[in-house]
Amino acid sequence: MRPLFATLIIALAAVITSAQTPPTLRIVPDGPNLPADLYYGTIKVKPLRLRPGTNTPITINDADFFVSQHYVDFLSRMPDQAGFNFWTSDLAQCGTNVACTEVHRVNVSGSFFLSIEFQETGYLVYRVHKSAFGDLAGKPVPVRRENFIPDSRSISSGVIVTQTGWQQVLENNKQAFMLAFVQRPEFQAAFPGTMTAAQFVDKLDLNAGRVLSSTETAQFVSDLGGTPSDPTKRASVLRSVAENSNLQQKEFNKAFVLMQYFGYLKRNPDQGQDHDFKGWQFWLDKLNQFDGNFINAEMVKAFITSIEYNQRF
C-alpha cells in the first residue's frame, strides 16, 4: 500500500517590529488535488514529513516519495497504484546498494519525460506553442512555465495511460484544447481571419522550423479549403503540424532540457539563480554531444542531485 504521508508544518517566524505589518501564512496550491506550498510572507516554509505513527522523516531520498513527486512534477497528478508500484519496485530491487540506487533513480526520473503520457500531453503543448508562435522573443524556447503548466494540465486532465479508455479521454482533451487554442486572442492576432489557407499553413511551418514536406503543405492547404478562418479546420491543421514527426525529433532535446527546469526546479531557465539561458544551453550542448543520451550526459543526475532541487523538500 502507498504510505500515507503525515505532514507537520513548522513555521519559523522572523522578528517583526511594531511598525511593520506582520507576514501572514499563505497556502499556495500547485493545482487541483495536488500538494500545496506554505508561505510565511514571501518565505516558503518547508514541511517536516513524518511517517504515520512514527518520528521517522520522509525525504526525497525515499523511493515512495521520490516516485510520487515525479508524478506531481511531470504528469500533474498523484500516482495511480499500478504505476506507483512499478516504479517503487524498480528502485527497491537495489536494496542497500548505493551505486545501484543512483543508477535506477536516474533511469526512473528520466522515464517520466520519455513516457507516453508526457509525450502526448506536455511535450505536445510545447510543440503547439512552437508551431503557433515560434520561439519567444529573445529566448531559445517557445513557452514559459506559467503558460506551459495550465495548458499541459488541460490536455492531461483525467488521462492515466494503461487505464481503460485513456486513449479516448486524451483524444477528447486534445480536440478541445486545439479548438480553444486557435480562438485565443494572441493566436487570432498572429493569424488573422483574412489570411489565406496557404498563408496560414506557411506561417505555422515557418514557426515550426520548416518541418513540412511539400505534400503535407498541399494537404493542409486543401484541408482548409475556401474557409481558412474556420476554427475547427484551423485547430486540425495546427495539431497536424504540432504532431509532425520532423518537429518532434527536431525539438526533442530542447524540450527535454527545458522540462528539467519546469519539473525539477519549478521555474524558467532564466529565473532564480539564473539570469539567462546559459545553464539551459550548457545542458542542451551536453545532451547533443551524447546524441540525446541523458544518462551519459549526466543531465538528469545533475538535476535530481542539485542543491536547488533537494532544497524544495
| pLDDT per residue rounded down to tens, the chain (313 residues) | 444 444 444 444 444 444 566 677 787 777 777 887 777 787 878 778 888 989 999 999 999 999 999 999 999 999 999 999 999 999 999 999 999 999 999 999 999 999 999 999 999 999 999 999 999 999 999 999 999 999 999 999 999 999 999 999 999 999 999 999 999 999 999 999 999 999 999 999 999 999 999 999 999 999 999 999 999 999 999 999 999 999 999 999 999 999 999 999 999 999 999 999 999 999 999 999 999 999 999 999 999 999 999 999 9
The total of other beta-carbon atoms located within 10 Å of residue 179's CB is 16
Q: Which pTM was predicted?
A: 0.89
pLDDT of residue 37: 78
- Residue keyed to cell 499541459: 152
pLDDT of residue 118: 98
pLDDT of residue 20: 60
pLDDT of residue 49: 85
d(C-alpha 250, C-alpha 7), whole Å: 43
The total of other beta-carbon atoms located within 10 Å of residue 259's CB is 22
pLDDT of residue 61: 94
Phi then psi for residue 66, to 5 deg, are -60, -45
DSSP result, 186-199: HHHHHS-TT--HHH
- Cα 75 to chain centroid distance, Å, stands at 7
pLDDT of residue 180: 98
pLDDT of residue 19: 52
The DSSP code for 298 is: T
pLDDT of residue 46: 79
CB proximity list for 34: less than 8 A, separation 6 or greater = 72, 76, 77, 78
50 has which bridge partners?
6, 57
For the chain, count helices (H), then strands (E): 15, 5
